[in-house]
Structure 1
Amino acid sequence: MEFKTNYITPDIKLSVFEDKLFKTEVLFEHHLLVWFISGETKIIQAGTSYLFTAGDIFLIPRNQVVTIINYPKNGLPHKAVAMHLTVDRLRNYYAKLPVKPVAYVTDKVYQFKNHPLLHSCLASLVPYFDMQEDFPEEIASMKILEAITILRTIDKDVDGILANFDTPGKIDLVKFMESHFMYNLPLEKFGYMTGRSLSTFNRDFRKTFSATPQKWLTQKRLEFAHYQIAEHKKKPVEVYLEAGFEDLSHFSFAFKKHFGYIPTTLVKAR
């Protein structure tokens, strides 16, 4: 079963997922503010993982790539309200304030637990998802501006994220790929995140790693999975998603082809 998503505006949505698991890799074009109503989400980002449950509120900055794994929990579906904080809306907001944009980049997800101000703002949206008529844009704008104002009130450093409108510049390829290889993204996205066109990314990659991106990525993911199973005592079913594989059978096939034995051989050897 896929997500059921109900938009009251293009920037405000309610998502519901009732199956066992949903996994995706996402490169966010806009900042995303999320409040969990029920369920559980694991977010993996450049070697760091976060676990969010019912009541948690967090902000994922734009131009960040993350792996998201959603689960129902305690008999309840995975259910969340999400709000996009778009660049255009933030430009208009900050144009009226004496805040200078700063060149500030972060690879972290901002956690706000169940902050009462943010909870009140996001929870107030839930009744609107049952409306039959169109949701007034004026109210939507007010709610988003309220959320931005609350974020700035409870975290004085958030301006460094929200008021930064830069696009990714050309960055070190080795450092980026070593910390982002587990993301199953199109090569165009890897190019964008490293400040390169697809052709430039492919050329620089071959020159840097002496291999094609596809071959290098597969090898890195398998080596990562091998390490997690052998050294951290994890089971294959706990590893394959985090390593960037879509299903367990494909992971086992690729693992055996590369190492000469199936992942469970490592488990038995322990």
Structure 2
Amino acid sequence: MGGKEQNRYAEILLSCIEEKYFKDEIALEHHSFARIISGEMKVVQADRSYLFGPGDTMLFPCNQLSTLIKNPKNGLPYKAIVIFFRPERLKDFYSRNPPQFTQVDNYQIKTYKKHPLLESFFASLIPYFDLESELPEKIISVKIEEAITILSALDPNIDNVLADFSQAEKINLVDFMERNYMFNMNMERFGRMTGRSLTTFKRDFKKAFNNTPQKWLIQKRLELAHHQLSNEGRKPIEVYLETGFENLSHFSFAFKKYFGYPPTSQKKEADQ
């Protein structure tokens, strides 16, 4: 697996994956606005999944756990333009453009149909990635403000997300873990996502589940994989990434150790 990012300006970048696939599990610190140029990206979240291809445009709200699986397709590498909206940029924008709040937003990924404003905006960014020097700060500022302005014009509910500057608080641990156990993060990251230090996270987890996080996570991921193999007829190679395992051999070993038989036998039973 491999990937690279060209012209790594802190806030505007080109992501390029040239090998077979690239998997990453993220909880973005900042809202990100993206356009797929070529290739394909599957996004798996706790309650749904998405598949994006060339020309698709989306906004990822910050602090939402997601598994990203990026693949070249049709002989072309995976390429995407990504823009990060830092809080200081957003606060400056909304200090001059008061937000228009509507109904409560569900903070899911937002997708946008093709529109002349979007097409011209992303087309204007592509030449910047041929620069050998860094993009001037003033241009970065102008282009990010343009992006926010376009989203405001296309999405009447966007201010509910971009203008929400509330800080993360300690959240319900059981609810969070039951929805996000398939994401392969370390314990420190799970703690931060639930508003806890590592020590507090482990203590609260033991109290809630009467188990260690590591043992509980492996068990839940294996049970999810078992369900997908036996009830949905999927193949081991199709489920191991989505259920939090880094490679197929580790998944197969853990599955056989836990259930007493290899995951391939589940696929055979489902076919009968």
Aligned partner of 1:89 in structure 2 is 89
Counterpart of 2:258, as a letter, is H
Greater Cα shift, 165-174 or 61-70: 165-174
Instruction: Give the CA deviation at 1:78.
Output: 0.2
Name the CA distance, whole Å, in 1 between partners of 2:116 and 2:195.
39
1:133 aligns with 2:133: yes
**Which range moved further: 59-68 or 3-12?**
3-12
Cα 1:105–1:202 change in 2 (3 A) is farther
Q: Check if 1:246 corresponds to 2:260.
A: no
CA pair 87-23 structure 1, distance change in 2 beyond 3 A = same
Alpha-carbon displacement from aligned partner over 1:226-267 (angstroms, at most 9, x marks no partner): 000000111111100000101000000000000000000111
Q: Which moved more, 1:93-102 or 1:150-159?
A: 93-102
Aligned to 1:10: 10
How far does the alpha carbon of each residue in 1:142-201 deviate from its partner, in whole angstroms, 9 at most, with x for none? Answer: 111000001011111110100011222122111111110000112122112212111111
CA distance in 2, matches of 1:81, 1:261: 44
> How far apart are 1:114 and its partner, in Å?
2.7
Q: Return 5+ residue gaps in structure 2 as ranges.
A: none
Q: % of aligned pairs identical? A: 51
Q: Amino acid of the residue matched to residue 146 of structure 1?
A: E
Deviates most, 97-106 or 45-54: 97-106
Cα distance in 1 between the residues matched to 2:152 and 2:259 = 50
Q: How does 1:1-270 map to 2 (within 5 A)?
A: 1-7=1-7, 9-99=9-99, 106-270=106-270
Aligned-residue Cα RMSD (Å) equals 1.6
The CA deviation string for residues 10-38 of structure 1, in whole angstroms up to 9 with x for no partner, is 10001111111100101100011110110
TM-score for the superposition, normalised by structure 2 = 0.95
The answer on whether the counterparts of 2:103 and 2:157 sit within 8 Å (CA) in structure 1 is: no
1:4 deviates by: 1.9
Q: Which amino acid aligns with 2:194?
A: T
The runs of 5 or more residues in structure 1 that have no matched partner are none
Contact 1:27 1:64 in 2 (8 A): yes
TM-score, L = length of structure 1 = 0.96
SS where residue 125 of structure 1 aligns? Answer: helix
The SS at the match of 2:165 is: coil
SS of corresponding position for 1:144: helix
Deviation of 1:119 after TM superposition, in Å, equals 2.4
Cα distance in 1 between the residues matched to 2:153 and 2:101:
18
Query: How many aligned residue pairs are there?
Result: 270
CA distance, structure 1, for counterparts of residue 195 and residue 103 of structure 2: 15
CA distance in 2, matches of 1:118, 1:207: 49
Q: Secondary structure at the match of 1:156?
A: coil
Letter in 1 for 2:82: A
CA deviation after TM superposition for structure 1 residue 47, in Å: 2.2
Worse-matched range after superposition: 102-111 or 30-39: 102-111
Q: How far, CA to CA, are the matches of 2:166 and 2:139 in structure 1?
A: 29
Deviation of the 1:97 alpha carbon: 2.6
